[in-house]
Every structure is written in C-alpha cells, then in structure tokens.
Structure 1
Amino acid sequence: MKSPIYFKKNTISFLLIITTITNVLGQETTIRGIVKDDFKNPLENVSVKIENGDTEVFTDATGLYNITVPAKSKLVFSYDGYKPKKVSTKNKDVINVFLKYNKKANDDKEVNTGYGKIKQSESTISASSVDEKFIEQENNLDMATYLRTVPGVRVIEEGGELNILIRGNRSLNSSDAPLIMLNGSQYNGSLKNLNPRDIKAIDVLKDASGTAAYGSRGANGVILISTK
C-alpha cells in the first residue's frame, strides 16, 4: 500500500500542472504596430479588434496602435473603403499591416457632388465621404477625427482651431482653406463649434471639376456637411 506522502506529492504535482496550464491559457500580451495603405501612407482610425471579442482600439494619426490580447487570438483590421484583414497574434508582439483599397466597394458608394448624390463609379469627380455608419456609431468624436478618416485630407490643430488642407499648400499669399458648406449654405464658423451628435454626413470634393458649382470659392476643395 502506497504511503500518504506518495499521494500528497502526486496531488501537489497535479495541482502545479493545472496551475501552470491555467496561467498559460490566461496569459495576455500587448501587440503594437502600424497600419498603412498600398502606398505606404499611415491610416488613421483603423479599427483593430480582437476576433469574437469586445476589445477594440483605433490607430492614431501615424497609423500606430497598441492593444492587449489573450494568448493565441486573432486581430481583425478594418477601415472603410479598404479590404479587412485578419492576423494571428501567436508568438508575435509587433504586427504591421497593409490594407488594400477596395475599388469595387468604393465604386458602389454614393457621394455628394454638390449637384446631388450619385455613385462614385458614375462620377468623374474626385470625392470621398466619411462613413455614415462610423459617424452614427462614434458620435462622441470631433470633426477633426472624422475628417482624418478621409484619404488626402490633412487636419492640423493650431491655437484651438482646425486648419484643413485638401489640395495641399497651393499659395503663399492666400488661404489654402477649403470651402465649407453646411446644409447647402457657406459656413464661416469654427468646425469645433459643430456638435458631432448633430452630424449626419460629411463629403469632401477634392479636385477642380468637383467645385464647378462653387466657382473660385471651391478652388481649395469643398467640405459638404449635412446635419440630422
């Protein structure tokens, strides 16, 4: 008959094994990285989410993200207008991702051209929109964050104001600020004074052909804002 000491040692060993397995399964790791587009430009406000989980973070202005995940999980990267990507976190602490532009999805989207809404594929105008679902779900954000989701738009915060560049620095002597239209009328106030909860849609016209309806006022691009 085996002694009580034998059983005690085996019980302790068993408990140690169970504890080790539990600790390994419960381990978490911090993943960091940068998300860029096909042209190696950083993408801001890309959703980085644990698959089948509630944890979600968004990339900053440099495309950088940082997220804590369980062991052996998967991250899902998604951004409006781009194909989503799923990546395993196994044995990784740095994951850099390139998202591919989804031409078909963007061609089917409707954009406000200033004359009305038409499909992007039917328009020769260079226009982009802030995803309306993003605005609806993230209505506690500010205008700067919304506009930074639009490719080709630069948002610079200086002295409490937002400086927007759509077509780059075009003149040394005059303003490069775009024309802002709020519900069909020119808006000359600060974008920071607009309540994000009131915003319904934001469309951005980027090229000269898209500003025909606004004359020289639209030479630097046009931001069309609609409220609820």
Structure 2
Amino acid sequence: YYNINSTNFNRHTYDTLINCSNSSIFSSLDISQKASELSKDGEIRSLINQEIKKLTKEKRFVVVGRDVTTNKILLSADFETRLGRHVMQLVDENPQNILYDVITLKRTFDQVEELFTMIIMIKKDYNYYLDLSNWQLNTEVDEDAYVEAFPLLSDRIKFIQDLKNYYEARKTVFSRIERILPKEKDHESFDEIQEWRTTTLQGPKSGAKIALDKLEHYEKKLNG
C-alpha cells in the first residue's frame, strides 16, 4: 500500500498494517484477500479511498475494480500495459478480464502462477539462448513447450505422467525386441545382429531412458 508512514494514516491503521505484515500475510498473492479484510474497517476503508483518489489522479496506479468491501489496485500502469501485451500473445482472451480475475482471485493461484511463468518465458532474449549447450537447449525447449501447450499446472502434471507412461512402454517394447534377438555366437546372423543392436537399437532404447529420466526430474520440479 502507498506510503503507510503518511500522516494520513492514523496509529490504528498503521498498527493494523504492521501486524498484518509481521504475520507474513502479504506474501505471494495473498494481498488482495487481506486487503478485503482490512477494508471492512470503515476508517481504514475511508483512508484507502483517499489514497486511491490521489494515486489515480497522479496516474501512478490503476484501479481495476471495486466492491463494497474491497478496493483492488494494480500497482503499476506500465506493468498493466506489459502484462496485457504478453497475455494477448499467450491467451485467446481479453487481457482486461484476466487482470480483473487475477486481482479478484477468481482464478486459482496455480493459474496466476502459470500466467506469470509464461510471461517470464517470453521475456528471455537471444543472449540467454546463446549460453545454452545442445542438451540444455533441448531441455529448455521441452519445458517451455510444456508450459505453452498446458498453461495450467494440473494439466501439465497429468501430461507429464502420461508421457512417462509412454516412455516406460517404449522401454518395455525395446527390451522385448532385444530379448528375441538370437544371442548364440554360432548363429549365422550373429555379427549382423550385433551390428544392428549397436547401430540401430541402442540409440532409440537409450533415448527412451534419457527421456524418462528428464521427465522424472521435471516432475519433481513441478511438485517441488
């Protein structure tokens, strides 16, 4: 909140805000919910309204919605512009609706988190990618693609689990193929089979295991 040390805020208001801050309720996206609790106090609500009038007059902040108990404030007009632009690139939906839903907590915390994750992803410039090795780039593209295809965390986790099942099945099929290969050294096609095992089978089989390991690592990050 704007300038809580201002003389416009009396001691009761100041103590209320400090107590809230000390209990860590302003962490993460909890601000809007606690703003609603604070604004139930008529005196605090009146002071907040006074501050809002000054802030909007100075065009330093943007008020995106109000109701009986709560004033929802977006803390930067410039931020709103940037967020709106990125959202338009990412989601086929009116960015103002997304912003309003975010502030009023109509969207889940997971959805809000994913929105900001996608914005951070888009803001990477070419210098970021130039520093990546081949395997790092592959991992980066995979993880960004998961977010692009499945913005909601719950959907992405389900997809990763399904994909893990797929690569487990690939490993099973490769092992089944390997088991039917003749292993006797006196087999007429032994040399040909060994060469095929090395040049053709081992690559895809190892790839399935590597892909599964990466998915398990990524799943741990998601559940982190």
Identify which of structures 1 and 2 has the higher relative contact order when contacts are C-alpha pairs closer than 8 Å and 6+ apart.
Answer: 1
TM-score w.r.t. the length of structure 2 is 0.22
Higher helix proportion, which one?
2
Higher strand proportion, which one?
1
